Amino acid sequence: MRLQTRKVLDRAFAGSGIMAIALMVLALVILLAPMFVRGAGAIFFTGTVEHRRIMLEKFERGDRAAVEAEDRAARTAREPVYRDLAAFEKSLAEGDAATRRKYGKPLHDLKKAIHTLLGPAPDEVRPMLMRDQYGQARWDRAQVKLAQVLYREDWDYSDPTRAGIKRLKPRAADFVGTPIEGLFSYVERNLDKMLLPRRTVYWQFLTDDSYDSHFFGGIWPELLGTFYLTVGALLFAVPMGLIAAIYLTEYAPDNRWTRLLRTCISTLAGVPSIVFGLFGLAFFINTIHVSESKSVLAGSMTLALMVLPTVIRAAEEAIRAVPATFKEAALSLGAGRWHAVRSVILPAALPGILTGIVISMGRAAGETAPIIFTAAVSVGKPLALWQTLTQATPALSWNIFNLATEHEAVDEIRHVQYGMVLVLVSLVLILNLAAIVLRARIARRMRA
């Protein structure tokens, strides 16, 4: 091949390499950027007076006098709304039946929409569910709910051969000529006075318990659960994995059985995680009863099984990468085999082993399938350490799935879901960063 052609080919390869990497970075940005932006919305947002009331009443946080003063101001601004509604309702009750029928349903829907936006009326019996006890705590959600107060969805089905067309009908049109006609523009103009929006930083999202199945509060039970499960998995997987790796590299004879064993371990690494999950349920819970029901213990053991092959393979590779001369030198100085492993080979292999462990940690933290049947629940308290032996816990990965699919009010609590995603992704990123830093440090020390 001519020199010129070779050069061109070379450049073409370098160029496509750069392209590939650029595409990857772009994909990563497209993937991560919205995740971070929307996830940050769980912590940084414009909170209303309702948010501050929740903080005060449920967590005893904030300046009581200030919040109560705000609450009074908000109530004063809301007062005309409730007054007009009550007056209209009274006049309806005293009026004729036809008018009552005409306004019955629209009024009922309107009251519901206002309740969702501003919370229960002052004279209303305190509702049971916390989601009904407060108005909108976030200004962005309040805007959505305001639109639902001002407009109602109306579907035009006049042409049955085609799908209906959505029309937003102003509710005000339903009440023309009634005393509450002016209520709508009042609500629209004075919403900020009724809810008093303010920039809010809610760091405690990470450390607060959840209230009313994630409608309010934070994600502490999930965060703690993920932590327990991950650490628990490593407690089982690391010692076993290390011992297995040392045995396989230093002690096991190199015969057909050992090779078969290695193949088995590699295969185990490729087994889908849901299979581990079902195995964990069938074996740990239903057969050997490590706990009566789902528990962090059973979940950790299942996760440990799942990451064990990774730990073994990483440790094996790392140990194999230690130059044979290290071991030979140690043995020639009279060290026993175990002594050589402990004082020469393991320290030299440590960076590789640690990388394997930290990557496994990230995987254990993020996996959902192994813990569905063995450890994870939708709702539960944060556990004390000793409770992990017998009790199940919410965990980030599972609860993200739960909030995204099963939860009855998915759209109301998207921010919680995104917040959980952000925390989980950050957790895994931090773990991976820690692996890189740790590895670099140890490698530097080894060279010195």
Per CB under 8 A, residues contacting other proteins are 127-130, 132, 153, 155, 157, 160-166, 211-213, 285-286, 292-294, 372-373, 376-381, 383, 385-387, 389-393, 402, 405-411
CB distance 363 to 433 below 8 Å: no
Nearer to other proteins, 218 or 351 (CB): 218
User: In the complex, what is the shortest distance from the CB of residue 132 to other proteins, in angstroms, rounded to a whole number?
Assistant: 6
User: In the complex, what is the shortest distance from the CB of residue 353 to other proteins, in angstroms, rounded to a whole number?
Assistant: 23
Residue 136 has phi, psi (to 5 degrees) of -70, 130
Burial class (CB in 10 A: 0-12, 13-18, 19+), 233: buried
User: In the complex, what is the shortest distance from the CB of residue 408 to other proteins, in angstroms, rounded to a whole number?
Assistant: 5
Instruction: Provide DSSP, 268-295.
Output: HHTS-HHHHHHHHIIIIITTS-SSSS--
Nearer to other proteins, 1 or 385 (CB): 385
Burial class (CB in 10 A: 0-12, 13-18, 19+), 10: exposed
What beta strand segments (E) does 164-318 contain?
165-170, 198-201, 210-211, 216-217
Nearer to other proteins, 96 or 159 (CB): 159
User: In the complex, what is the shortest distance from the CB of residue 161 to other proteins, in angstroms, rounded to a whole number?
Assistant: 6
User: In the complex, what is the shortest distance from the CB of residue 405 to other proteins, in angstroms, rounded to a whole number?
Assistant: 4
User: In the complex, what is the shortest distance from the CB of residue 289 to other proteins, in angstroms, rounded to a whole number?
Assistant: 9
Q: 32: part of which helix (H) or strand (E)?
A: helix 3-40
CB distance 81 to 195 below 8 Å: no
Nearer to other proteins, 160 or 270 (CB): 160
**Separation in Å, CA 245 to CA 56, 310, 322, 435:** 54, 11, 13, 20
Nearer to other proteins, 363 or 407 (CB): 407
Residue 155, strand partner residues: 166
User: In the complex, what is the shortest distance from the CB of residue 200 to other proteins, in angstroms, rounded to a whole number?
Assistant: 24
State the Cα–Cα distance between residues 368 and 31, nearest whole angstrom.
20
Pick the closest to residue 234 from 371, 357, 384 (CA basis). Answer: 357
Query: Residue 136 is encoded by which pair of tokens?
Result: 């909108």
What is the distance, to the nearest Å, from the Cα of residue 268 to the centroid of all Cα atoms in its chain? 28
State the Cα–Cα distance between residues 233 and 235, nearest whole angstrom.
5
Nearer to other proteins, 53 or 407 (CB): 407
State the Cα–Cα distance between residues 219 and 202, nearest whole angstrom.
12
Query: Residue 197 is encoded by which pair of tokens?
Result: 């929006």
Query: Residue 42 is encoded by which pair of tokens?
Result: 């769980």
Nearer to other proteins, 94 or 159 (CB): 159
Please tell me whether residue 166 adopts helix, strand or coil conformation: strand
User: In the complex, what is the shortest distance from the CB of residue 245 to other proteins, in angstroms, rounded to a whole number?
Assistant: 23
State the Cα–Cα distance between residues 112 and 99, nearest whole angstrom.
20
User: In the complex, what is the shortest distance from the CB of residue 402 to other proteins, in angstroms, rounded to a whole number?
Assistant: 7
State the Cα–Cα distance between residues 354 and 439, nearest whole angstrom.
7
Cβ atoms < 10 Å from Cβ of 20: 10
User: In the complex, what is the shortest distance from the CB of residue 399 to other proteins, in angstroms, rounded to a whole number?
Assistant: 11
Nearer to other proteins, 94 or 411 (CB): 411
Nearer to other proteins, 360 or 374 (CB): 374
Nearer to other proteins, 161 or 255 (CB): 161
User: In the complex, what is the shortest distance from the CB of residue 386 to other proteins, in angstroms, rounded to a whole number?
Assistant: 4
Nearer to other proteins, 21 or 409 (CB): 409
